[in-house]
Amino acid sequence: MSETREARRRDSARSREALLRAAGELFAERGFDRTTIRDIGRHAGVDPALIARYFGGKTQLYLATVEAEHGDADPGDLLDPERLRYVLERADSRGLVPVFQVAVQRLAEPAAEGMARAALHDRLVEPLHRRFVAEGRDRPRLRAEMTVAAVIGIALGRQSGAFDELGGVPADELGALLLGTLAAEH
């Protein structure tokens, strides 16, 4: 009986890892919105219903892929040119991911919303807040939130097609322009 339980545990762990790997690949390739649960299950070679069992849903699976990809490593703050370029490029390739979605609208699932908000603050707001505190800036949390909101707004504006030049500028050039604009605020 214990061998059967142990085999199930190994299969569960294998299935969970396969789903994480498949989801990470598909989210990177297609973006969050264009990746379906069915596609992830097929790509992982497991029943897509296991996504609900192991993660709770597509949003939670996405957040788990972010966590698996980055772990506990300090992501750096958005005023670091490499970090800003990375965030803009990922937004270009992955679309309106839950971490950005939660900044502009509530998510349908309260649990997913809580997880997305926590990821938004942990990965984007807090590193800037720490920087602004260290620099002795006035209202460091508000400044951090404003900077993150500006970056998310720019990422969304690039995707919308409403801004001709904004959508056509490479992420590294855009990041340098944005950093110059934010530095002028000093």
Of the candidates 52, 130, 127, 62, which has an alpha carbon nearest to the alpha carbon of residue 100? 62
pLDDT at 184: 66
The model's confidence at residue 125, banded by pLDDT at 50, 70 and 90, is very high
Crossing angle (nearest 10°) for helices 171-183 and 140-160: 150
**Does the predicted model carry a pTM greater than 0.85?**
no
Tell me the C-alpha to C-alpha distance, in Å, between residue 149 and each of 109, 143, 176: 22, 10, 17
pLDDT tens digits for range 26-51: 887 887 878 899 999 999 999 999 99
- Walk me through the domains of the chain, giving residue ranges and CATH numbers: 1-71 (1.10.10.60), 74-186 (no CATH)
Q: What angle (nearest 5°) sits at the alpha carbon of residue 170, between those of residues 168 and 172?
A: 150
Scanning the structure block, which residue is given the tokens 């800037």? 128
